[in-house]
Structure 1
């Protein structure tokens, strides 16, 4: 089981990483909310263990952005906020389970393994086929995009833009639509910011067998080179 642990307290992060590794889990860590989404896409974990109180972005914002970006990885929220209202907010934001601090390690492991089993059972019943374009493979279940069997290192905005275009290969997606997906709720950002993300992504797509094209008046599209 590959696990992404997003926790900013160094002692808590170290203790959890060691405890879960000793129980046979492959644990990757992140301590910053702004970096969490990119780390999530890079690692492509089976589960995410997410603290709510994080620097940069709080855990709920990270979770909401991940779900908007199409990341469906099961998430267990781990937090000192233990009221019923907080739990409801977390579950409504897209969390799959919620465990308040302090907690018992045996219970945490049991909940993680239960989430993993449910995910595996769900995958067996209806696993969406990956999308292939050129040398790229987009795994819808995890949100990861692979080139030559390696996860591409993309920023959250680059990943959101590439997800949107790979969902409609050969079809133009307007700049306005892409803006809503890449910069959700960011009212102080201009539409032209999409062009910056396109420019950076285009360079990363070199040698992948995929071309990111600009169609004046229509938007952008991906096609196999």
Structure 2
């Protein structure tokens, strides 16, 4: 990893990013659903449903949902009877998730504070690893991908849902205008936090494109890597297998 990394459109020291991203998510944790609705026009709910269908969780499987603090993916996974561990580096996000689980009467989830780059779980422990809209906020993405590979059993599967760059002519320009000009203002209106929403939009633009990220997953040791674009690649499901 280089000495500097992106924080939105800003380049900062790698040592600073984790804390600064933490500040963003601490700020927006209580408004996370609103944030996702603002950034996706409400479509994130459909994307997450599709994502979990691709994961195909099964009863009694051990699944790690990384960066899943608010529980959106974990609740969907747990409906299959899978044993889900929800890990997030941000305690404020985990607190929101645990409160939501209690209100919904969802028991049995394991909640743990964890850094995707240095997981404390043993080797070959999980059947599946999921991460939704979280990988772009990691400081050292290749390191996090290697950790995902390490904690998966042989035959384990990796699934990542993340914003990317749409290839549809004209649509990218429309979404750029919407995201850069409107979403931060919505953040200011709904969460009194324009800067955090601006960072989240900028972080999408600095994230590797679909083919490059697919290559990074392969470099971490995964095979049969695939990418499934939605809305021309505005958001994509990446996957790979450990053998």
Fold similarity call, TM over 0.5:
no
Between structures 1 and 2, the one with greater helix share: 2
Higher-Rg member (1/2): 1
TM-score by length of 2: 0.28
